[in-house]
Amino acid sequence: MSDDTRTAPASGALTEPTSVAAQAADTLSAPAGTQPAPADRPRPTTPQTADALVWLGGESFERQTIAVPTLGVGESLIRLTTATVCGSDRHTVAGHRPGAYPSVLGHEGVGRVAATQAGLTVGDRVVFAVTSVCGTCVNCRRGLSAKCAQVAKVGHESTASGWPLSGTYASYIVLPRGVAVAVVPDSVPDAVAATAGCAVATVMAVLDAAGDLTDRRVFVNGLGMLGLTAVAAAKSRGAAEVIAFDPAPDRGRLAEAAGADTIVTADLPGDVDVAIELSGAEAGVRACLDSLGIGGTAVLAGSVSPGPQVAIDPEHIVRGWRTITGVHNYEPHHLVQAVDFLAGDGADMPWEDILGGPIGLDDLPAEFAHPSPGLRTVVDLS
Name the site residues for Zn ion (rule: CB under 5 A): 86, 88, 133-134, 137, 140, 148, 198
Whichever of 118 and 137 has its CB closer to Zn ion, that residue is: 137
**For residue 198, what is the DSSP state?**
T
Kindly state the smallest distance separating residue 139's Cβ from Zn ion, in Å.
Answer: 6
- Closest C-alpha among 119, 146, 139, 57 to residue 93: 57
- Closest C-alpha among 313, 35, 352, 7 to residue 178: 7
Kindly state the smallest distance separating residue 141's Cβ from Zn ion, in Å.
Answer: 8
Whichever of 195 and 291 has its CB closer to Zn ion, that residue is: 195
Whichever of 118 and 301 has its CB closer to Zn ion, that residue is: 301
Cα separations in angstroms, 210 against 21, 82, 164, 276, 353: 40, 31, 37, 8, 27
Whichever of 225 and 239 has its CB closer to Zn ion, that residue is: 225
Kindly state the smallest distance separating residue 216's Cβ from Zn ion, in Å.
Answer: 27
Kindly state the smallest distance separating residue 178's Cβ from Zn ion, in Å.
Answer: 8
Kindly state the smallest distance separating residue 198's Cβ from Zn ion, in Å.
Answer: 3
Whichever of 71 and 199 has its CB closer to Zn ion, that residue is: 199
Whichever of 202 and 297 has its CB closer to Zn ion, that residue is: 202
Kindly state the smallest distance separating residue 234's Cβ from Zn ion, in Å.
Answer: 20
272-277/292-300 β-pairing: parallel
- Closest C-alpha among 226, 236, 242, 345 to residue 291: 242
Annotate 154-175 with DSSP letters as a single string.
Answer: TT-SBTTSS-SS-SSSBSEEEE
Whichever of 76 and 145 has its CB closer to Zn ion, that residue is: 145
First to last CA, the chain: 26
- Closest C-alpha among 184, 181, 231, 185 to residue 206: 231
Whichever of 137 and 204 has its CB closer to Zn ion, that residue is: 137
Q: How far is Cα 38 from Cα 361, in angstroms, rounded to an integer?
A: 36
CB neighbour burial string for 330-356, b if at least 16 within 10 angstroms, e if fewer: bbbbbbbbbbbbbbeebeebbbebbbb
E strands of the chain, at which residues? 49-55, 61-67, 76-85, 108-116, 125-132, 152-153, 172-175, 179-183, 217-221, 241-245, 262-264, 272-277, 292-300, 323-326, 355-359, 376-380
Kindly state the smallest distance separating residue 263's Cβ from Zn ion, in Å.
Answer: 25
